[in-house]
Structure 1
C-alpha cells in the first residue's frame, strides 16, 4: 500500500492508527509520547473530546456550502479572531502555505494601489520557511528547498534575519511588504529580537509597506499568547496562520488590518473550501478550549519548566549546545546532526523532529503535563547517552 503514496517524505517506519491526549499508538499497539504534535498542529493533543464532539455535531448539521453564501460558523470564527487581536478582517483557507500565498497576493495588490506597478518588491529573510507552493517557496530563504524548482517568482529580496542594517539597505519606496516568522521554525527555532521587530515595523510604516508575520507554527497559543505578535509587542499588518488554529483539522487564515484588507475586492482571491462550516466549528472549539480553560495561561510556566529541564542536560552533556525558542516552541541545539538522537528517541517511544541543521524541535501539545515533560526529557537523556556511547 505504501507504494501508492508519492515519495515526498522521509517517513519513520511506523503506521499510527489512534491517539489520545499526548499519546499515539501504532498498529501493533505500541505507545508513543508525541512531542511533535503533528508539527505544532495538535495544540490540544489527539482526539480531544470537545473537538470530537464538535466534529460529530457539525458533521450532522452542515459541512460545506462554498463562499457564494455566508455561514454562521465562519462569521463567528472571524469575529473571535478579530476580537482577540488588533486586526479587522479575515480570509479563510486550508493551510499555512495557502495563508502565505494570500498574504503575498494582498501585498502585491496593496503595493500597486499605493505606488503603481513599480511598488512590488517583497523582502524576505534568510533561513526562513514559508511553504512549498511556488509563491511561498519563492520567499523561503533556504536554497535546498528552492533549487530544483527555479525559476521562482521575481521582485524579491533576501536579507539576513535579525539584522536591521541589511534591511535598511534594500528597503525603499518600491517595497510593498516584508514577510518574516517571529520565530523561524524549520530554520532552527530562531527567535526574532523584539527590538529588531520594532524597527522593522517602523520601516514598513515609513515606506507604506505591509509587515507580514508568518505565525503558522509559532501562533495560536504556542508562545503563551493567542497570537505570536502579542509576545513581542509589535503589531503586523497581516498575520498568516494555520496549524494550531484547527487543532488537527485543516484550516488556515489571514488576519489583516482594515487598511491592508481593503486592497482586496471581489474576484481578487478565493478558496473553495476556505471557511467551511466544519473547519470553522472545530476552530471555534479549539480557541474556546485554549482561551477559556486556562491552557494558554499555563504555557509560559510549562515553558520555563521545560527549559529548566533541558538546561540541566546542557550542564551534564557536551553534546548539548543550548536551548532556544519561546513558549512551547523550543529547540535543543546539539553538536552535529541530531538524527541519531531523534531516531533513538523514536525507538524508545518518544516522537521528536529536527529543525535546521543541528536542533531537536520540542513542540508538545499545549495541554501537556509536567509529568509528561519529565518523561520526555528522561527518554531524551537516555537516548543521548546511548548514541554517545
Structure 2
C-alpha cells in the first residue's frame, strides 16, 4: 500500500451493529462508523438482504442502459428533498467535481461565458481530487500538488465582512458546508447564510451545499439544509447515503440540470445497481421521523455525559455537536493529545475519530443503542482519566 495512511495496530475481521471484532477477537465499540458512513451500523439485516437479493440479479451495467434500483433511488431523493434531478457518482469528491462542472456550465449556457468563479470558505473540506483540494483552502492539502485549478476564491467561514467583494457578477457558484466536519463540527451562522443567499440572488450565482458528511440523517434531519433556512441549487451527498457501499449523488433542479446535455458528464460506476439497491433501503429508513428524532435524543445523551466528563477532568475546551456528529476540542498537553487519546481508546476497545489537529470527532451509527453509547463513553472517560494529568 502507498504510505498515505497510518492505520491502527489492530485489523478488524468482522462487525455487527456498533461492535467491531479484530483478528484476535477483541471487541470494540464503534463511535466512528467509517467516518460517518455506516449510518445504520454494520451488517444491518435489511441492507444485507438488499445486497444479497440484488447480487443475484444484476451487478453492473454501463449508463448506456438504466437500471431499476437507480431509478427507484433517484425517486426517493426527489421525493424527500428540494431536488428534481439526480446524477449518481461513486464518492463525495466526485459529486463535488460534478457540481462545480454543472454550476459553471449553467452560468456559461444561461448567463455569460466568462462567469466561472467559484467561492469557497476557509477550513472547508470538499475532498482530495485536484479541484476539491483547491476548494479546501488549506495549504496542507495542496502543497506539492500544484498548479491548482484556477477561478477559485476563498473567504473566511462565518465572516460577513467583505463577502460582497468575493461574491460578484463573475461568481458562478458558492460552495459551502453548513456544518464543517474537518474543522471540528462548526456550524454556519444564520446571518452568514442569509448574506450568502442575498449576494447569490443579486449576482445570479448558484449555491452548492456540500452535505457529503452532514447529510443522510447525521444532524437529525434528513439533510442539514433543512435546519439552516436555505434551499440549495445543487447539493452533493455521499458517505452515509450508502450505509457502507460507495455511492455519491448530485441533486439539483430540472432547470439547472438542463444545461448538462448528452455526453457532458459521466461515470462508469455511477448508479451501480448493487450500490443503489442498498442506498434505496438506507434512504427509506433514514426518512422515518422516529429514526431522525432518535438521533436528537441520542445527541442529548452524548452531550450530557460528555459535559459531566468535562466537569470532572476539565479536558475539553469546547464540545460542539450537530446531531450524532460531535467534536470535543481537547485542552492539549504534552501527554494528552489526539494521538495519545486515539491509542488509549483503541487499547480499551473504543473507536473514535480525529478532526482538525485537536478535536475528537464522534460519528456513530444513527441507530446505536443507548446502552452502547454509555458503555463507549465510560471507556472514553477511563482513557481521559489515564491520559489527562
TM-score range (shorter-chain normalised) is over 0.9
Partner of 1:358: 358
Corresponding position of 1:18 = 14
Q: Does 1:380 align with 2:380?
A: yes
Aligned pair count reads 385
Partner of 1:280: 276
Report the counterpart of residue 270 of structure 1 in structure 2.
Answer: 266
1:115-156, CA deviations, whole angstroms, 9 ceiling, x for partnerless residues? 333201100000011111111111012210111211111011
Residue-by-residue CA offset, 1:30-87 (whole Å, 9 max, x unaligned)? 1110101000000010011111111110000111111111211111111100100112
> Which residue number corresponds to residue 200 of structure 2?
204
Shift of 1:293: 7.7
Tell me if the contact between 1:119 and 1:175 (Cα under 8 Å) persists in the aligned partners.
yes
The structural deviation recorded for 1:195 is 2.8
Please say if residues 115 and 174 of structure 1, whose CA atoms lie closer than 8 Å, have aligned partners that are also in contact: no
Q: CA deviation at 1:260?
A: 2.1
- Structure 1 counterpart SS, 2:255: helix
Superposed CA offset, 1:171-198 (max 9, x none): 1100001011111111221111133212
Q: Any runs of at least 4 consecutive aligned residues in structure 1 with deviations exceeding 3 A, and if so which?
A: none
Matches within 5 A, 1:78-227: 78-227=74-223
For 2:331, the equivalent position in structure 1 comes to 335
Take 1:193 and 1:222, find their aligned partners in 2: how far apart are those partners? 19
TM-score (norm 2): 0.96
Following the alignment from structure 2 to structure 1, what is the Cα–Cα distance between the partners of residues 125 and 319?
21
Whether contact under 8 Å (1:211, 1:238) holds in the other structure is yes
Mapped partners of 1:252, 1:6: distance in 2: 25
Q: Which runs of 5+ in 2 are unaligned?
A: none
Contact 2:29/2:376, CA 8 A, preserved across alignment: yes
SS in structure 2 at match of 1:259 = helix
SS, match of residue 332 in structure 1: strand
Matched, 1:323 2:319: yes
Match of 1:35 in 2: 31
Q: Are 2:319 and 2:329, in contact at CA under 8 Å, matched by a contact in 1? A: yes
* Superposed displacement of residue 165, structure 1: 2.0
| 8 Å CA contact retained: 2:76, 2:284 | no
**Deviation (angstroms), 1:289:** 2.2
Q: Is the 8 A contact 2:313 2:388 kept in 1?
A: no
